[in-house]
């Protein structure tokens, strides 16, 4: 079986894709922190066939250690796939920088329209969505700590230059302005640009950062989970995680959402602020329908969008890269 070295510090990643490889019976080494000894253990002793890097991981470590990881992987001819999870917003600043540093053999990106950017650089490239981990994203007893009518887990924007701004205007703004029983977890909401966005966030709604390992509890405790989208043609990781957790997801109607999921069957989509209020009012009152849709959504991602399936897609891609 393919031996996989997965380099990332973020639990968002280490609790995801590595589990998919394990379910395919692939030996996995998760490298979270870089040092000379940890690199030696991960590469020289574990002897991976495939290394996967992702996101902004290189920024957490000394450049000399990152270079040492790349050097040792090359020494043993380890095939290297970079998963570009920050596309398209940070393609230049993050993904291209990582390619320069890591020198991967191939790239997979969460943004289908970015695939050709990597091919133009001479790299094999494919699209790879986020997914869910059935052993983590699952139904569990609700917690009174997270018992709200509506909840949002996700970071606030900096410049708000992506479709995320539109998502906020459609999904969040009408509920905030009408004073719904709403809780917001994530970074930067305490520095929310009220002038740019056109509305204020009441302090009682802001709950601060949420440890990743707590996210599943929120999805199982709040009645409705708001799912912001960053782009019309890609899906956020939380789309799959909320559905996998058995949560009821209210998101925006985009090309990618409608391509993979059926509105009012697997999740619910809003196209306007008025639509958002109507949907929230309806589904707060109709619990049975809400639960039925949540169950359908979970079944859909469990059958088609687990990290086991994503790992299989990577291995298929890896086998092509290996032959070339």
pLDDT band at 55 (very low <50, low <70, confident <90, very high): confident
CATH fold, domain 4-131+306-323, is Rossmann fold (3.40.50)
Asked if residue 58 has pLDDT above 90, the reply is no
Asked if residue 62 has pLDDT above 90, the reply is no
Domain-wise residue ranges, the chain: 4-131+306-323, 144-304
Question: If DSSP codes are grouped into helix, strand and coil, which group holds residue 268?
Answer: strand
Token pair 């230049």 is at which residue? 92
Reported as type and span, the H/E element at residue 250 is strand 249-252
**pLDDT value at position 318?**
87
**pLDDT value at position 324?**
66
Write down the pTM of the prediction.
0.96
pLDDT band at 60 (very low <50, low <70, confident <90, very high): confident
**pLDDT value at position 1?**
87
Asked if residue 238 has pLDDT above 90, the reply is yes
Q: What is the mean pLDDT of residues 190-201?
A: 96
Helices (H), the chain: 11-14, 17-23, 36-39, 63-75, 96-102, 115-119, 164-167, 173-177, 194-197, 215-221, 237-244, 255-260, 273-285, 287-304, 307-323
**pLDDT value at position 165?**
97
Tell me the pLDDT tens digit for each residue of 275-311. Answer: 999 999 999 999 999 999 999 999 999 999 999 999 9
**In Å, what is the CA distance from 278 to each residue of 132, 216, 318?**
29, 26, 46
> Could you tell me which residues come within 8 angstroms of residue 23 by beta carbon, excluding any fewer than 6 positions away?
306, 307, 308, 311
- The 10 Å CB-count burial string (b at 16+, else e) for 268-305 is bbbeebebbbebbeebeeeeeebeebbebbbebbbeeb
**pLDDT value at position 44?**
96
Nearest to 138 by CA among 309, 297, 269: 297
Tell me the pLDDT tens digit for each residue of 149-162. Answer: 999 999 999 889 89
Helices (H), 3-151: 11-14, 17-23, 36-39, 63-75, 96-102, 115-119
Asked if 270 and 170 touch (Cβ cutoff 8 Å), the reply is yes
Separation CA 322–CA 2 (nearest Å):
12
Reported as type and span, the H/E element at residue 224 is strand 224-227
Class level of CATH domain 144-304: alpha beta
> Could you tell me which residues come within 8 angstroms of residue 151 by beta carbon, excluding any fewer than 6 positions away?
182, 183, 184, 185, 218, 219, 221, 222, 224, 225, 226
Token pair 């270079």 is at which residue? 67
Tell me the pLDDT tens digit for each residue of 83-131. Answer: 999 999 999 999 999 999 999 999 999 999 999 999 999 999 999 999 9
Q: Do 4-131+306-323 and 144-304 have matching folds?
A: yes
**In Å, what is the CA distance from 211 to each residue of 47, 153, 172, 186?**
32, 10, 22, 9
Respond yes or no on whether the N-terminal peptide bond of residue 88 is cis (omega within 30° of 0). Answer: yes
């Amino acid at each position: 079986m393919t031996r996989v070295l997965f380099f990332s510090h973020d639990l968002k990643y280490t609790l995801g894709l590595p589990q998919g490889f394990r379910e395919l019976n692939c030996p996995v080494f998760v490298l979270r922190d870089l040092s000379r000894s940890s690199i030696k253990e991960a590469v020289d002793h574990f002897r991976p066939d495939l290394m996967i890097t992702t996101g902004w991981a290189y920024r957490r470590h000394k450049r000399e250690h990152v270079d040492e990881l790349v050097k040792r992987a090359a020494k043993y001819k380890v095939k290297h796939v970079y998963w570009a999870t920050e596309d398209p917003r940070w393609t230049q600043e993050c993904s291209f920088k990582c390619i320069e540093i890591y020198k991967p053999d191939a790239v997979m990106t969460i943004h289908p329209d970015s695939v050709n950017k990597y091919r133009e650089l001479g790299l094999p490239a494919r699209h790879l969505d986020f997914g869910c981990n059935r052993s983590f994203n699952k139904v569990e007893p609700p917690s009174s700590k997270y018992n709200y009518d509506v909840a949002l887990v996700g970071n606030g924007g900096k410049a708000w230059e992506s479709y995320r701004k539109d998502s906020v205007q459609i999904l969040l703004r009408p509920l905030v302005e009408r004073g719904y029983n709403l809780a917001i977890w994530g970074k930067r909401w305490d520095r929310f640009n009220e002038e740019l966005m056109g509305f204020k966030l009441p302090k009682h709604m802001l709950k601060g950062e949420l440890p990743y390992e707590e996210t599943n509890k929120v999805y199982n405790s709040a009645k409705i989970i708001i799912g912001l989208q960053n782009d019309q043609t890609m899906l956020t990781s939380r789309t799959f995680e909320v559905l996998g957790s058995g949560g009821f997801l209210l998101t925006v109607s985009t090309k990618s959402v409608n391509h993979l999921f059926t509105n009012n069957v697997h999740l619910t989509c809003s196209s306007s602020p008025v639509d958002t209020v109507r949907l929230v009012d309806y589904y707060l009152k109709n619990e049975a329908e809400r639960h039925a849709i949540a169950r359908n959504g979970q079944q859909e991602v469990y059958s088609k969008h687990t990290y086991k399936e994503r790992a299989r897609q990577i291995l298929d891609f890896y086998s092509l890269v290996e032959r070339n």
